[in-house]
Each structure stands twice: as structure tokens, then as C-alpha cells.
Structure 1
Amino acid sequence: MANQDKAEEWIDRTNEALGEIGNGYELTPTLQHLYLTNNRISKIEKLSPCLALRELVLRQNSIKVIEGIDALEELEELDLYMNQIDHIPSDGFKKNSELKRLDLSFNDIRELKGFPSNNLPNLEELYLIGNKIRIVSDLQSMPKLIMLELGDNRLRVIENLDRLPSLQGLWLGRNKITRIEGLQKLTKLRRLSIQSNRITCIEGLEHLEHLEELYLSHNGITSMQGIQSLKNIQVLDLGVNFIEHIECIENLSNLREFWINGNKLSSFDELNSLRSATRLETVYLEANPLAKDPQYQAKALEILPTSLEQLDALLVDDARKQIAAQSCREDQAAVADKPEHAAEETVIANAMGGNLTDGSRVIQIDGRLDRDSQNEVPGDEPSRDDTVETVPSRKVASEHTVTMAPDVKVSLSQSLEQGDATRETQSQSTTHEIG
């Protein structure tokens, strides 16, 4: 019985191309959620029995007119994303005062004149992405509206939003806006996106004391002047602009994410300004001139605050592993490229029974081995410490001749096959030849 009740409350016929509402299923008074995405529906109809319907999803259909919803007085969400609607009737939604979320994105709406704001007193989210709107108008009398999405339209000016005092999120990306303005009365705004527009300077944000996220990437901004008043900002995106200096962030103590990739930062000294951002967790610096430095990651992490968790697309721990691996490869390359005398010293050290640990060199002077190349050892005063007393028990290549220095040759003739050879035999098997 429980399953039957659930079936009556939920109907999902997504991607079934049924052609019309109610085709192949029953529309009942207890139905609350109806999902008909991509059904080739051209008209909203047959919904009068659905008195309890709260959510109606008609995405990706061929609907041209907003109609047939007067009986849906309990409706809270209406999704008409990607249809063929070209206008919003001024008398629309008269019986839908409970509507909280309305999505009219990706239609053919050209203007908002006559928008039925008065009929939507409880609307909280309005999505108008991807239409052809040129002017924002008649968006008033919606005291509960907290989210407005107008991205990817044809707006040139931010205007007529001052009667939306509860607005917390405003999205205006991919328009033709040239100035940040008209936001003075939106004092509750927390998220503002004006990405991919034509803005050249940061301004008009002085009254947005509660702003937490600001997205201004892909514009023509040349300076960070104008953000200094945003004391509560947590996410700041200035990627892909023309900024040369990091500045005006001394008061941004709550900054957690900072995107300034794709700008013109050329010196690592610019990163010193971020030391005061002690809560910083993510920084994007890639595609700046300084990121071309072979030691870019290491230099950046040395300067950035210890709170950092992510540099560009890499977690800091992974970045440090890459740095260590790179350092190891460089060390190996340096060893491979050592001068010839370094390899010679290694051979002599091995002949003495192991590698030297004190960093001193071993060379042959007057038939004896000396541990310090800077100490002159007279030929007639052999030093006890520098006399070779033992030869390693492991087998060493026979007749291995190495040039130690100009006019000095060392010939090691060692063919010790048995580990218990006598010291006298070992001594005789080692011949020093001075050329």
C-alpha cells in the first residue's frame, strides 16, 4: 500500500517522447511531483485534477505559451527550461501565489516588460538564463526573491533592481555590461557574478558589506582597486583579466579562495600581499608570466600562507610531492653530469673500503693516498693515517687505471677472489705507479 501511495505522488516519464501530458499514466488528485522532461510536449494541459501538485518539470519540450496551470494553487516549482516561450503574460500565475521557484531559461524571451511580479509574492528563485533580454524591468513586488539569474542575455546596463531588497544572489555573466552600478540598495547581496562582460574597473561595491563571493573573470580589468571595502569576501575570482599587481587585500581577512589565473603577474614579490590572508585555502596563479618559472610551485608555496590547501588544480600535498620528485630528478641528473675527477675519487674511495663521509678527497701523492687534497704530504715522511692498510674483501675490477690529476696516474691491480687473503698478499696485489 505504501508503494502504491508513493506511485500516486510521484510520476517520472523523462525521455519517453509521449507527445502530450497524461499519455499512458493517470493524473490523480494526490500527485505531487510530475517529471516530463523531453516528452515532445507542445502544450500544458490536462492538469486540472492535480490539485496537490507541488512540482512540475517540463524541460526540453516544445511549449510556446505559459498556460493550463490555473488549477495548481499548491504549485511551488515550475520548470520550463529549454522550450519555445517568447513572452511572459502580464496576467500569468494569478492562481500560483505559492510558487517559489520559476525556471524560464533557454527560451526566446526578449523583454521583461509587464512581468507579473505582483502575482508572485512568495517567489524565491527566478532563472532567465540564455534568453534575448536587453533591459531589466518590472522586477518588483517580490519581497522574498533571493536568487536572480540573468546570465547569457543581451544586457548592457545593470538597472531596475533596487526594488528587490532581499536579493542575495545575482548572476549576470555573459552579457555586454560595461560598468558595475545600480547595486547600492542590494545590501543583502552575498553572491555577485558579472563574468564574461566588458568591465574594465572594479567599482560600485561600497555598500555590499555582506558580499561573500565575487566573480569577475573574463573581463578587461587592469587593477584590483575597488575591492578593499569587501571585508566579508570569501571567494574572489579575477581570472583572465589584465591585472599586473596583487593589491588592496589587506582588509580581506576572510578570503578563502583567490582566482587570479590568466593575468599579468610577473614577479613572485606580488604574492607577499597574500601573507595577511591567514584563512586562504585555494589560489589559482596558472597562466601568469611567473608560472613559467621552472621552480614556480616551490617558490609560490614558500611565500603563500601555511593555511593553503590547493595551488591551481593541485592539492598542496600533491604539489609538494611533485616538487620533491623534480628535485630528485635534478639531483640524479647532476650526478650523471659530474666531472671526470668526481668519478675517479669514487673509485679510490671504494678501494679504501667504502664512501668517505667527511667530504674530503682522496688522491695519490708520492705513492701514498691522502684524504685532504689541500694538505701537502712530503714524500720522505709517510703519514700513518694516510697509508692504505686494507683492501676491501669484495672483488674489484683488475688493472683499473684512472687519471686523478695532470701527470698523476693510479693503477689498482686487485684480483682478490677469496675473502680470507692475507694482508701481505693484499699489499702485493696493489701497485702504485707514478707517471
Structure 2
Amino acid sequence: MVRLTIDLIAKSRNHFKKKRGLSFPEYLKTLTHLHFSSKNIEDIGDLSMCRNLAVLYLYDNQITNICNLGFAYNLTHLYMQNNNISQIDNLCNLHKLSKLYLGGNRIAVVEGLEQLSELKELHLENQKLAPGEKLLLDPRTLRTLADSLRVLNINNNNIDEIRDLSLLKEIQHFSAADNKLHNTEELEDVFKHWPLLLEMDLSGNPACKKPKYRDRLITVCKGLEVLDGREINELTRQFLINWKASKEAKKKKNNKHFLTRPMIPHHLTSKSLNTVAQKLEIPLSRLLNRAAVSSAICSPVDA
């Protein structure tokens, strides 16, 4: 089993470049970046001598557990995509962590991030899930990330609804391509809570095939610049926003007109209706139309 330890760092020519006048322990204290991707590493050992570690590259390995990183108070970037991690844990001391890459693992529930209030990017794409399983995000983690998270990638995780994500009001870049999102109304309800959204990718979801899908999302996401890899023309956006506002105003006016127009009692005779039409200065045919509607509304229903 390959284990990431101080000895492994010492054996690596890429890392052990002893500076003049520094012992190896002193050198370890100066390290800010560790590059150990694609090294068949299965476990993380004691690295506590690397107290100033800020960026750790461990992607494309065989790691099953996140461990022994409690010392890394200065860590800001952690790259652990494409390993065999099934649970997110032991990150509670990493208060400065701003970017976390965990795509291509075996994570089914996103949790254990309740102490990461500075996290700005979370990458969780392409989890190796069991058949019928979908990626879930714990509400406690979402509440913690609500004021900090700017980038979220949950591509290809069998996700069929994202209503709980409306808490993430600081989101600027959102990727949820190749999932099972189908409810356009739900998407609109979520995205109206994201005023800072600039770029979004929902390609490969059933919702993309719905009528007016793109038009509807553009009118809701008023700051969106790119949708599904295509830039949004500002003139197009303004036209769609104006068209939607005009349509809603017209609908509201028609509803108001219907509710306020005079109701014609259904029992009036033809002569009475003719007299009413003359007083209202409208054609008798239009008045008869109103009489029909009034009759349908006011007449008692047969038992």
C-alpha cells in the first residue's frame, strides 16, 4: 500500500529541493504546495510537519478516506477528485478551505462541511453511485454554505430536483448537466433566489426539451451571461423580459375586465335586454353574450 508520508516527500525529487542552510524539517515547514496526483496513493499519513500547507493535489489516486488533515489550518485548496472516497469527513479544522474538488468518487450524501464557512467552490461531478441512487446534499451543509459558495458542480449524479439549493444565494456558476431535472417551474423557483448567477449548464436534462425552456430561464435569471454553453445576447434578454411583462400585464387587465364588467340577470326578457342595450350604448348581440355568461354564472345548479 502506498501511503503519503514525510518519508515519501523526502524521496520525491519534485519536492525535496533542499534550500541552502535549511534542514529537511525546516524545509517541510516552508512547503505550501504538495503535488502527489496519480501516485497510486491509498492512504494519508502524518503530514503535520507541513504546517504551512495551502494547496494539496491528491487527485487520480486510490484514497478511500479523508484523514490526517486536521493540522492543515492554512489549507485553501484540496484536490481529491477521482479517488474511492465514499464519505466526506475529517475536514472540520480546515476553516480557510475555499476550493474542494471531490468529483469522480463514491459519495452519495454531501455532508460534513458544516465548519467550512469560507468554501467558495465545491466540485462533486460524476460520482460512482449504485444503480438507482442519486446524490443528496445535507440541509445543514447547505445552510453553512449559503453565504459563501460561488461555484457548484453536480454534473451527472442522477439528480431529479434541486429545490433545497435555493438557499445558496451567492451562487455565480452552476453546473448540473446530465441529470434528471424535468420540472421547469421548480428550476424557475430556485433560480429567482440566485441574483448573482452568471453561468449555468443544465444540458442533458429532460427540462431542456420543454417548450420555451431557454426563454423562461433567461427571463428569470436577469444577470445570466451563459446558458448551456451559449452566450446570452443582451438585446434578446431585454426583448424576452419586456415580452413577458407585457403578456402578464395584458393577462392581468383581461382578468380585471372580466371581474368588473356588469352582470346581466338571466331572467330578463328580450324587450328588457334591448332597453338595457340602448342605455349602455352597446350592440344587443354583445349584451346577449354577457347575458349568456351571466346566466351560466348566476343560475342555480340542477340538483
TM-score, structure 1 length as denominator?
Answer: 0.47
CA RMSD in angstroms, aligned pairs only: 2.8
* Aligned equivalents of 2:80, 2:165: Cα separation in 1: 24
* Aligned equivalents of 1:236, 1:138: Cα separation in 2: 31
How much has 1:91 moved relative to structure 2?
A: 10
Contact 1:98 1:122 in 2 (8 A): no
Does residue 315 (structure 1) correspond to residue 228 (structure 2)? The answer is no
Q: Match for 1:305 among 217, 221, 229?
A: 221
Contact 1:117 1:140 in 2 (8 A): no
What is residue 210 of structure 2 aligned with on the other side? 293
What is residue 206 of structure 1 aligned with on the other side? 114
Q: Which amino acid aligns with 1:222?
A: L
How much has 1:140 moved relative to structure 2?
A: 1.5
- Structure 1 residues 341-387: Cα deviation after superposition (integer angstroms, max 9, x where no partner): xxxxxxxxxxxxxxxxxxxxxxxxxxxxxxxxxxxxxxxxxxxxxxx
Q: Match for 2:51 among 117, 120, 143?
A: 143
Does residue 189 (structure 1) correspond to residue 104 (structure 2)? The answer is no
**Which secondary structure does the structure 2 equivalent of 1:228 belong to?**
helix
Contact 1:152 1:174 in 2 (8 A): yes
Q: Match for 1:222 among 131, 135, 141?
A: 135
**Which secondary structure does the structure 1 equivalent of 2:200 belong to?**
strand
Contact 2:111 2:137 in 1 (8 A): no
Residue segments in structure 2 that go unaligned for 5+ positions in a row:
1-6, 241-303
Contact 2:156 2:177 in 1 (8 A): yes
How much has 1:193 moved relative to structure 2?
A: 0.5
What is residue 258 of structure 1 aligned with on the other side? 174
* Aligned equivalents of 1:117, 1:273: Cα separation in 2: 51
What is residue 276 of structure 2 aligned with on the other side? none
Q: Match for 2:87 among 140, 154, 179?
A: 179
Contact 2:107 2:135 in 1 (8 A): no
From the two aligned structures, give the one with the greater helix fraction: 2
Residue segments in structure 1 that go unaligned for 5+ positions in a row:
1-85, 100-115, 325-435
How much has 1:98 moved relative to structure 2?
A: 9.2
* Aligned equivalents of 1:216, 1:255: Cα separation in 2: 15
**Which secondary structure does the structure 1 equivalent of 2:177 belong to?**
coil
Q: Which amino acid aligns with 1:251?
A: L
What is residue 193 of structure 2 aligned with on the other side? 276
Larger Rg: 1
Does residue 234 (structure 1) correspond to residue 150 (structure 2)? The answer is yes
Does residue 96 (structure 1) correspond to residue 19 (structure 2)? The answer is yes
- Structure 1 residues 15-38: Cα deviation after superposition (integer angstroms, max 9, x where no partner): xxxxxxxxxxxxxxxxxxxxxxxx
Q: How many residues align?
A: 222
What is residue 300 of structure 2 aligned with on the other side? none
Structure number with the bigger relative contact order (C-alpha 8 A, sep ≥ 6) is 2
How much has 1:261 moved relative to structure 2?
A: 1.0
* Aligned equivalents of 2:57, 2:12: Cα separation in 1: 22
Does residue 159 (structure 1) correspond to residue 82 (structure 2)? The answer is no
Q: Which amino acid aligns with 1:245?
A: E
What is residue 243 of structure 1 aligned with on the other side? 159
**Which secondary structure does the structure 1 equivalent of 2:233 belong to?**
helix
**Which secondary structure does the structure 2 equivalent of 1:204 belong to?**
coil
How much has 1:90 moved relative to structure 2?
A: 6.4
Percent identity reads 30
Contact 2:155 2:179 in 1 (8 A): yes
TM-score, structure 2 length as denominator?
Answer: 0.66
Q: Which amino acid aligns with 1:257?
A: H
